[in-house]
Structure formats: structure tokens, C-alpha cells
Amino acid sequence: MEEERAQFAHRWFEEVWNKKRPEAVDEMLAEDGVGYGLPGGEIRGPAAFKEYQSALISAYPDLKVIVEDTVVEGDKVAARCHVTGVHQGHGLGLAPSNQPVDFTGIVLLRVKDGKIVEAWNEFNFMEMYQQVGALTLNLQ
């Protein structure tokens, strides 16, 4: 069962983000599933998640998410991820910078009956925004 849950996390990122299949969201996210920690706040249900997916993919058409490690405990799977892409579209409300992004993150998925019911995301979106020039820090 642990191996199945780990493979589920790999499949989510491969199908939803790397293959960019919105129908995979319907297959793998529960109707009442909720994602926390993503830009824009809580995302509830497949329809809302597919809007988020579409926006991110339009900003990064070559987006790639690699799951580097997983840890399974009960109905939860933690996945450590590496994200790359080039900011080529307006999907984030920003003019394309054509700058590459390279950042990491961790997501904790709770899976029930073969679908995600909760996901807690801790991706370094601040680093992503810095890399495309949308956020500057003055540390002096």
C-alpha cells in the first residue's frame, strides 16, 4: 500500500503538470478536495484546480515537476519536488519575462479512495517570482 501511495504522488505530478492533462485532475482529485498554500489561496475541487493548472501552464508552457523523494505514512504522502520552466506567458498576471525558473517544494497529500482529499503545498514561490523579476528584495 505504501508503494501505491508513493506511485500516486509521482503519477499526479507526471499527469497533471508534466503531461498537462486537465482530465487527470478529475481522475485524481476528489470533488471536495482542497489544496492549501498555492498562490491565490485555497483551491477547492477539480474545476477550480483546473483553472489554476491552466494559468500556471500558460505562464510556463514547458513546466516540469520532478518528484525527487516520497515518504508515506498512513493515508498521507509527502513528495519533495524540483520545478523548472521558462516564464513565457501571462498566466500569472505578469508579462512574460522569458526567464528560466528553478525552485523546489514539498507537498503533503492526503489520499482517500484513490483521490486527493487534501494537499498542503510548500513550494518556494517567492524564489519563482524573484527569478521572473516580479519580486525584488532589499536586504540592506
Q: Give the separation between CA 73 and CA 120, rounded to whole angstroms.
A: 15
Q: Give the separation between CA 88 and CA 109, rounded to whole angstroms.
A: 29
Q: Which residues contact 44 (CB under 8 A, 6 or more apart)?
A: 32, 33, 34, 35
Residue 11 lies in a domain: yes
Instruction: Please give the tally of structural domains in the chain.
Output: 1
State the sign of the Cα–Cα–Cα–Cα dihedral 58, 60, 66, 71.
Answer: negative
Residue 92 lies in a domain: yes
The grid coordinates listed for 140 are 540592506
Residue 25 lies in a domain: yes
60-118 per-position pLDDT tens digit: 999 999 999 999 999 999 999 999 999 999 988 889 999 999 999 999 999 999 999 99
Q: Give the separation between CA 139 and CA 18, rounded to whole angstroms.
A: 35
Q: What's the confidence (pLDDT) of residue 139?
A: 66
- Band the pLDDT of 127: cuts 50, 70, 90: very high
Q: Which domain holds residue 75?
A: 2-131
Residue 136 lies in a domain: no
- pLDDT of 2 strictly over 90: no
CATH at 50: 3.10.450.50
Q: Give the separation between CA 95 and CA 84, rounded to whole angstroms.
A: 18
The grid coordinates listed for 57 are 501552464
Residue 60 lies in a domain: yes
